[in-house]
Structure 1
Amino acid sequence: MSTESAPQPNILRWMPRDTEQPDAERPDAEQSALWISASGAAMPKKVVAVDDSLTADDAYRLAAQGTALLWQGDYHNARQLLSAMARRLPVFSRLDGESVAQSFYRYRQGRTQRAKMLGRVLVPLAPGPVVPLRRAPDLKEAWLLAAGPVDEPSVAPLQDVLGAVGALEWRRNGLFIQELDAVIYPHYGTFAPVRSEYLGLLDSVELPSMELAFDIGTGTGVLAAILAKRGVKRIVATDSEAAAIACAQENLENLGLADTVEAVQINMFPEGKAPLVVCNPPWLPGTVNTMLDNAVYDPKSRMLKAFLSGLAKHLEPGGEGWLIISDLAEHLGLRSREELTGWIDAGGLEVKGTVETPARHPRSMDRSDPFFDARSKEITSLWRLGVKG
């Protein structure tokens, strides 16, 4: 019977890229470290150690073959390499004869491949945490907030490091919300509500009750905060992600609303019924490839369907469910209006009214965008839903 222990699934192993000695003659050749990914990326199966001598062409070729590159040179050179690899990726363009949906599906495939390719550039992390490379920035605060402590030598995607640093800037500077006349602070992996038009919709509709509301998929807590500012006495805000609940709790505390809004980690609805249930699900059906994709893409429209199928059970008599959603999926051919209204009907619901606003974000006005025609027609709506009589 073998006494050899099973391999640890989160230990990354690699070999030096260039050597003239056979592996068997180099007992110290294989190296290892703990795999960490703040974004939840899968651990690569093949890794080579590289440094500043690696050309962008060779890096691109290795990454295209599925090999991850553990950088051991200058940190700024690693960033430049990442940019050079990105420039070598194919540029997306629409093809003659393709439907909009086919084009968008192919575009998403390209974005997935891009994320995989660039995610194959890795950097070491040491306890601190620090990136033990020349000219590396002070990563400690950013990484601790994004992914927690590093207790032993580790390896992470460079993209995760850059994302953590960028998220720290969001968290420090915040985002001003006109409807709150205040700033909220998105956390790493929590979507920042930069498209303010949908927030204005929530602020424009007469409330069916001032007593209680549920906010489903709260994220930063911004919708719950707007409801609280409008005078709703008690709000239960739910989210399935612990990071989102922590973000919402911090924002609500900063806004002085922690006694009004209870943030609870739960999938979809809390216990009981409310006269108002609000949900702003991801607007596009599609596969999730990154943490932030969770706020944009809803695989097979699962969250949207779950909200519509479960809403009637959680509405008090005469109550309303407010669904905030864009029709971009319809213009892209990913979902029809008939499908949406069919799910509403199947949930035992009726439409009591809608309020709408056109898109005002930069991409809706960017004629160079391959999907400009669809984006320029986008309308965001708040659907007022009630239980069928």
Structure 2
Amino acid sequence: MTARLYDAAMLTPLENLPMWRAESGAAAPRRVVAADDTTSADTAYRLACEGTGLLWQGDFHNARQLLQALARRTERKPKKSKKADTDVTPVQAFNLHRQALGQRARILAMVIVPLNGDYSIPLRRAPDLKPACTEAWGPATGEACMVSLRELLGVVGAHEWRKKGVEIAALGDAPNNRIYPHYGVFSPVRGEYVDLVANTPIKDKSLAFDIGVGTGVLSAVLAKRGVQHIVATDQDPRALACARENLQRLQRIDKVALVQTDLFPEGQAPLVVCNPPWVPARPSSPIEHAVYDEGSRMLRGFLSGLREHLAPNGEGWLILSDLAEHLGLRTREELLCWISEAGLLLLGRHDIKPRHGKASDETDPLHAARAKEVTSLWRLGSAA
């Protein structure tokens, strides 16, 4: 998203300021002031909390240090409420956690850096981030812009992930077992769901549908397991490009047809696999669509359309965490009801406990729910 940066007090655009760029769709700050190496962290924090953007004109590395100082201030523990923690429901804890994360993100987004039309940064000691910006945003247009330093560092982080890749044990031995996520495509760092797909028996390996292909990791696992042909779908062009690159690198692209569509391709398959977002909440940025599924839209769409796309005696594999149940955002009864209403039967279920660090981090605000989390592969078939 691009928009003119302006100072609300002037009520007119500041003609000397370039366009505002925000992949998340966040609006430009209503007021922008100049900031440099002489700006104290306390002053910057006060302005940022007020919603004032800080247009950086000093040393690039000092801007990064300022951002870190602001981050430390956002992490300060608030005074304890008189209400005991035990009185907070899981849903309230989740909403408070997301609210805190959103406020933190808004504050940190107030540190703004300029970019030239070729993605160079006109600041002292600024690194060359042209390759990272080109990967994330496409070729430079020649028009200068402004971007949140936090978002720019996210672009750099995505560039590093794309260079390094994520090792996937289910794809074989290193070094030929890596998935390279693109900017805006969720990285397969939660390996337990991949293990479920890698270890569940497949009855018919002639054809499979992979609904919501993402990086292509599940298509690659299915191909490695001997599935002869896979039709993989996604709505996001970035995800399809990422999946294509990964499958080509793994020499599996000859077994996979990539289709841009919402949920199902045409026809039927003996195996239909879907790993939808696990938490029914509203995403606040494009990358969060891989985690949050408002109103369980994708989950319910998959269940309601599965029977029509299952070949006779076929199986639908739904990979889903029960974290939403422990947070009070969805009940097991609701899920079972949706399965039944879709004309589906539960053929079996395979469970696995999470291995990520937050599952054992007692300081995490959602630790009580995460400690109980189980990820399951639900094997579904058509009811008679």
TM (normalized to structure 2)?
0.92
1:353, 1:35 → 2: CA distance?
A: 51
Match of 2:51 among 66, 87, 102: 66
Say yes or no: does 1:173 pair with 2:158. Answer: no
Select the residue among 25, 28, 31 that pairs with 1:46. Answer: 31
Taking the aligned partners of 1:334 and 1:116, their CA distance within structure 2 comes to 25
More divergent stretch after superposition (217-226 vs 128-137) = 128-137
Matched residues, percent identical?
52
Query: Aligned ranges for residues 1-389 of structure 1 at < 5 Å?
Result: 10-14=2-6, 30-89=15-74, 90-91=76-77, 95-150=85-140, 151-181=142-172, 182-389=177-384
Matched position secondary structure for 2:199? coil
Q: How far apart are 1:111 and its partner, in Å?
A: 0.8
Alpha carbons of structure 1 residues 311 and 53: separation in structure 2 relative to 1, 3 Å: same
Query: What is the CA–CA distance in structure 2 between the aligned matches of 1:48 and 1:30, rounded to whole Å?
Result: 14
- Match of 1:57, as an amino acid? D
The 3 A distance-change label for structure 1 pair 138 and 321 is: same
Give how far 1:235 is off: 0.6
SS at match of 2:17: strand
Q: Give distance in 2, aligned partners of 1:311 and 1:46.
A: 50
RMSD across aligned positions (CA) = 2.2
Cα shift at 1:45: 3.1
Q: Would you say how many aligned residue pairs link Structure 1 and Structure 2?
A: 374
Cα 1:359–1:283 shift into 2, 3 Å:
same
> TM-score if structure 1 supplies the norm length?
0.91
How far off its partner does 1:208 sit?
2.9
Uncovered stretches (5+) of structure 2, i.e. residues with no partner: none
Q: What stretches of structure 1 of length at least 5 have no aligned partner?
A: 1-8, 18-22
Q: Give CA-to-partner distance per residue, 1:342-388, whole Å, 9 cap, x none.
A: 11111111111001111111111112222222212111100001111
Residue 319 and residue 98 in structure 1: after superposition, are their counterparts in 2 closer, same or farther (change >3 A)? same
Q: Deviations over 1:250-274 (max 9, x none)?
A: 0000011111111222111111111
Superposition deviation, residue 178 in structure 1: 0.5
Q: Cα offset for 1:312?
A: 1.1
Instruction: State the SS of the aligned residue for 2:112.
Output: strand
Whether the 8 Å contact between 1:179 and 1:199 is mirrored in structure 2 is yes
3-state SS, counterpart of residue 262 of structure 1: strand
